[in-house]
Amino acid sequence: MIMFAISSVFLGLLVVSPVYAQQPDVLYPEWQVIFDEYAANGTLVILDKRQSLPQRMVFNPERARQRMQPASTFKIPHALFALDAGVVEDEFQIFPWDGVERDFAVHNQDQDLRSSMRNSAVWVYELFGAQLGEEKARQYLTRIGYGNVDPGGDTSTYWIDGNLQISAHEQIDFLEQLYWNQLPFKEADQRLVKDIMIVEAGRDWILRAKTGWQGTFGWWVGWVEWPSGPVFFALNIDTPDKLDDLYKREAITRSILQKIRALPGSASSASE
């Protein structure tokens, strides 16, 4: 298991202050070839901050501006809400499995904050949503300016089938603030959430990311940390073939990140 100390090392290497101003979009229609390879329809936004003039690279700019339900990518801010509100004490608190058999086997067991993020155990976050309630959720969403800041719908699932929506560009903006610990939460909580987002790491890089699946479309969002700076990404694609399409989220994104030398190696995942 990759421990929290890794993230501290790389954050210490970076001394450049964040810039939240919108970087000019650079369109990459040539990425269509990779989307076609996987028979996928979607968008990808990449913000490469390894250079003095950061580039915001965009495929399918119209869709990149379109707001959609965040699905399980919302576990990132939701974990921060739960920690801040005291709904969860720390990464070691155990949430006992309720015995309900769900489609993903890894969901059918006790969870803690780390495993619930890694396994994308929706039922844990349904508990958070129910305990926070709509009014508290709206306050948190407004505080961080997350998408349309509307938690209307079922308090347990509003990020999947309710009113909450966010665009790929807005995903990037949120992630950049989290990267710099600039969200209005305790720094320790932000560092913890970033730690439990770790997917894999090498000698000089760390990949932090989260999948999301609404049923008809899926997300993969996150960033790759390098000593020279982070590379943020937010992809969403349609998933007409449901579970059979889920691997495409990471496969497409990894292929393009590798092309721009932002990520070595490859792997795939079919988590929710």
Catalytic residues, by residue number, are 72
User: Contacts from 192-196 at CB under 8 Å and sequence distance 24+?
Assistant: 192/4, 192/83, 192/90, 192/91, 192/113, 193/76, 193/79, 193/80, 193/83, 193/117, 194/7, 195/3, 195/4, 195/7, 195/91, 196/79, 196/91, 196/113, 196/114, 196/117, 196/118
Phi-psi region of 141 (alpha: psi -120 to 50; beta: other; left: phi over 0): alpha
Contacts of 1 (CB under 8 A, 6+ apart): none
